[in-house]
Amino acid sequence: MAAQPGLTDGANCQLFAYEVLRHFGLAPPTLRSAELWSDTTATAHVTAAQPLDLLLFNATASAYGAHVAIYAGDHAILHLCAEVGHPAVWGPEDFAARERYGVRVGAKRVTNHLNVVPA
């Protein structure tokens, strides 16, 4: 079994989001945005985001090449922000104000959990 990609060799928005979700006990599939959007094994489409749901943003309604972020609740969205060079928390209006993130493609909920054995 191949090791899952982590953040030690650098990161992109997807790897960052997946590592955050793993920190909270979820087991997201390590997929690119288009594959994540079409996945039905480890994730489900949701219409109303809840904390720890994945949000996809793009310049168009296409999931291909979409930016992946995490809904943190109360209109706060955590993402690895290339624009500022580190993770950031933005509101929906911050994404809407940028052409490359102006379209919210949708939300996905990770349905798989890590098998964590209590100590």
Q: In this structure, is residue 35 part of a structural domain?
A: yes
Mean pLDDT score across all residues of the chain: 90
User: pTM surpassing 0.85?
Assistant: yes
The token pair at 72 is 């943190």
Distance CA 67, CA 111 (A): 20
Q: In this structure, is residue 19 part of a structural domain?
A: yes
- CB environment 63-97: b (16+ within 10 A), e (fewer): beebbbbbbbeeeebbbbbeeeeebeebebeebee
| Structural domain count, the chain | 1
Q: What is the mean pLDDT of residues 14-43?
A: 96
Domain containing residue 64: CATH number: 3.90.1720.10
Residue 52: strand, helix, or coil: coil
Q: What is the pLDDT of residue 2?
A: 42
State what percent of residues in the chain have pLDDT above 70: 88
DSSP letter at 4 equals P
The string of pLDDT tens digits covering residues 69-83 is 999 999 999 999 988
Look up the domain containing 96 and give its range. 13-107
Distances (CA, A) of 88 to 3, 29, 71: 27, 23, 12
Q: In this structure, is residue 28 part of a structural domain?
A: yes
**Cβ atoms of 37 and 22 closer than 8 Å:** no
Q: What is the mean pLDDT of residues 91-101?
A: 97
Q: In this structure, is residue 118 part of a structural domain?
A: no
